[in-house]
Structures are given as C-alpha cells and as structure tokens.
Structure 1
Amino acid sequence: MDARRVSQISGVGEYVLELLRQRHGFPSAGTGADCTAAPAASYGPEDVALVLRLVRLAERRFGGDVVLAADHLWGKKAVRRARPATRLPLSVLRSRFARALASLDEAGATTTLTTAFAQHADQAVVNRVILPVGAVLASERLVRQPERIGAYLYANICRQALRVQADRYPPASGPVVWLGCPRGELHDVGLHVARLVLVREGWSTRLLGQNCDLQTLAAAARRSTPAAVLLSVSRSLILHRQLGPLRELAAQVPTVLGGPGVTLADAEAIGAGAALGRADHLGAYLRDRLAQLDAR
C-alpha cells in the first residue's frame, strides 16, 4: 500500500494493519484468525495467538516489557455496555480471560499481565507499553471482526510507545507547540509521531485535552501565544462545523492541519499553514516551517 493513501482509509489502525499484513505476515481475516462465525464476546486459541504475535512484534520494535492491562475486561462496564447478545456474566468473562492467559503462558510469552494499571492507564511505567486487551476481547464488534482486533491493539502499542519515548527527552525551554484533536481523538498515532519529532529537535510540546473546543483554543492562543498549533481534524469539521474558529485560530498563530481526507486546498481555505494526508509527516513539516518563520 502506498503510504500516501492513508488519508483515504478510515483510521490509522487499518493502515497500520495493512502494513503488518505486507511486511510481517500478519494474518488477515479468514487465515488463522477468523472468528466471525464464533459466538459474540467469545474467543479462542486463534485470538490468543493473534495477540501474542502483536506482543512479540511490539517487544522487538520498541524494546522493554509489554503489559497486558485487563482493566476493561475485569470491569463491569464491559458487560453493561455490551449488546444483549454479548451481555455475559462477569465471571464468564474472567474465566475466558484466565484460559487465554494460560494459553499465553504455555506459548512462552515474555509478557506480564496486570490489572494494576486499571486506574492509571495513562501513567505508563517507562519501558512498558500498555495494551488494553480487555476492551478488545469484551467488544462484540471487534471480536466478530478479528482484523480490527489487530489494528486496535497495534495502534495502542504505537501510541503508548511514542508517548513514553517522547517523555524521556528532557523538557525544552524553547517555544511551545500545541498538539491536539478537536474531534476528540487526542491519542491519534500521528500526533504522537509528530510530538516525538519535535522533542527530538528541541521543541517544547503540549498535548491539548480531549475534545478541545476550537473557540476556547483560539482564546487560549491569544493569551499564551504558542509557537504553532498542530491539529488532527476531519474534513467534515473543516467544511461544515468549525470553519470560523479555525480561521480565527490560523489568523493568530501558525496552524498546521492533518487528518482523514484533509487537503492542502482545505487548509488554504482557512489560511492555515498546511494540510497533509499523513499525520506523521506533520512534525517534520512543522519543524521546517517554523525554521522558515525564524529566518524572516
């Protein structure tokens, strides 16, 4: 798959999954990971093997330990939010997960399972990556579409690993770049790639809160004057819902846009700095653009 086509795919996870299939022999639906005919909210050895492959891939790629955080599976919310067909007793879910863990142990996984991160999912220990396995295994939609299980887990591996890597760099004293997703997807993989690029170059970064309101953001930019704002947005947000606030923000501070379907023409329509289909190119672009601004 051409990397430039990522903006045409409904999510970074599916794009990453396609790369896994091509480069790492990752199983696609119907080839060893097919559980579409299985009862909802159930999983078997083939699903365990799928998770195990992802864990080993994560260990090779990022180093350190991989922690399987079962917080969602152990919690009652997973049962309460499930559809009637998947509303199984919590004891059944626990039993199934225990069997899955036994299978992992038998396979010789060098992985630690813990529920200690249930209340601190964002406070990952350095050298560790958190995989919210429970949220996947308790979801009918994901269980019935095993290819999405892989995409979901791998995307979470990327987000956590990138965040841990960026946090290892000492705080910079230079201008601050804000990064966020107005559409409520703060933990977009591309934003964390961009943040890592920036901190490696000595920039200070600030991750904005989830569902950051653009009008509030524009007002905050007037008070704090960041060096630039990097946003991952959807094209529908630009065209139909937030065009005015985006224009206001771009008039105050260099604003770089990227996200599903966003084009350079969309950015030019609001006066922003740029729009790139691949969010993980935003950091490098922003670095170059700010260097140009500094040279003026």
Structure 2
Amino acid sequence: MPRPKRATEPTLSQSQTYSTAEVAKMWAVSESSVKRWSDSGLLSCVRTPGGHRRFTLQALLDFQRAGGLLQNADGAGRSQATAGLTQLAQALAGRDWPALQTLYYDAAVSGDEAAGVALLEQAYQSGISTIELSERILTPVLHLIGERWRRGELNIWEEHLASQVTLAATEHLHRQLPRAPSHGRLALCGCPEGDLHQIALHLVVEVLETEGWRVLSLGPNTPLFSFTDAVQRFSPQLVCISATIVHDLERLRRDYGHFYRVARQHAARIVIGGAAFADPQVHDIFTHDFHALGLADFLEYIRREFPPSDVSAI
C-alpha cells in the first residue's frame, strides 16, 4: 500500500539548490574554491540554462562526509572550516548539549537549512537517537526562540525561519531512518483550531511512522468537529492531539464532548500533548487515555499499549 500523503507537507530542502556564493558563505571559503572543487568533480553541481552552478543539499552533505571541505580548503578558509566542523565534532563527542543547542540555534534563526540538516544527521550518526535529538536539542532551542520572540528579542521572520529549518531537517533525517514493518494500525493526528504550531505534531507523526503506523495528519488549526468527522470516516485506533495554545474554552468544551463520545464509540485511544495542557482548565476539558509529556513518554506508551503481538486483533 502506498504511503498516504499528509494533509500538511513542509517545504523540503531536497529540491532546493544553492548558488556558488551561498555555498562559499556557508563554508567560509572563497567562491573560487567552490568553483575549483566543482570543476575537479569533487563537488557535484547542476547547471542552470544560463550556465550557472547550483548545488543540491545532498551534494553538499556528500562532499562534507567525504572530508572534501577540510582536505581542499586552503589558508583562512581551511582554518575557519576546520574550526566550525571541529566545534560540532567536539560537542557531539562530549555530548555537550548546551554547545549543540547553540549551534542549532544559530543555524535555525539564520535560516541555514544545510547547517541544520548536517547537524542533525551527524548527531544521529554519532549515536544520538532521534528522540534524544528532539528532546535535548530541538525542543529547548524552539522554546528559547519562542520565548525570545515573545519578549521582542527576535523578529517574527527569525521564528519562521527556525520553523522552516526544523521541518526540513527533521524530514530529511526521517527519510533515512529504519522503519518497523507496517502493522496495519491507523493514527489520526492534528492540532486544534487556532493552534498554528505544527513542529511538535510533525515530530509525533514521524515517531508513529517509524513504529509502523499509518498516519493521517490533519495538520494545525483543525476544528474539533473535523476531528470527529475524521474519526467517523476512518475509525483510527489512536487519536493524537497536540496543542501549544488554545482559544475559546467554552467552545472547546462543547465540541470536545461530542468528539470524545464518537472516539469512544469507535474504540479509539486518545493521547494529548503540548504546552497548552499545562493549564488545568484546558487539561480538564480534554478527557484522554494518556498525557504525553514528551516524545520518549509517547513512544513508551504506544509500544506498551499497542504491542506487535496484538495486531491480529485489529
């Protein structure tokens, strides 16, 4: 069965390309160095109809993995490139979480997708699990960015760039992860109406897909009556509601009551998670089977409550 298309797809960096000038700035080397590596065949490029070089993210990562950046840089370019890569390598080797958070923060707010992708990929290759990446690097950095934006210390465009980098970087890594065999279970995931924060939802969907679930993501800003309609239509075994912020508690109370009754009729388990549920008033409205305090918590729950041995019962 083909993998279902999600309702909300992030803009991925897979098809994005970078100019010679952008690559030179990214690696702190001269444009002539980038052109020389390209002409020698060490760094693959594609040509525009006008003959200009464009570099894919995959080509940049392949070049870095092969050590090309350090082997071929010269003078100041070599020292700057070495310093940058050595800083990341040292932070990964020592599991220096504050240093890794700082490196990711700098990449995120500057919109540097290539740096964000490279950091997560190298961290994963060093033995850091995707759950640990999310909870020890991504979540603290995104919380800091959100808080700094609320205090007026960051511009909204910086917050948006950070979200774009994180969506692209996590999706790039997700495509490379080993997946459990499909077990036929279906999960329905989304954020309630008024909540536009989609990164936590995105990470939940990725966890479920890696564990062999088929996932229908309703995306952010989905009214609860739409959740109800989707449950009636698809009869999922699991419904995940991620909420960072909610509005109109009385309307939520009314709509959630109907949703909950329908979910129970279809024997769907309900999992909630997100900053909004720290508010007791919100928490009390969303009657649930499990309140996930993080991705590790969520993963433990689905493995415990939905073991592979129970698939025959679906």
What TM-score, normalized by structure 2, do the two folds share? Answer: 0.44
Q: Which has the higher contact order (CA 8 A, sep 6+)?
A: 1
What TM-score, normalized by structure 1, do the two folds share? Answer: 0.47
Q: For the pair shown, which has the larger CA radius of gyration, 1 or 2?
A: 2
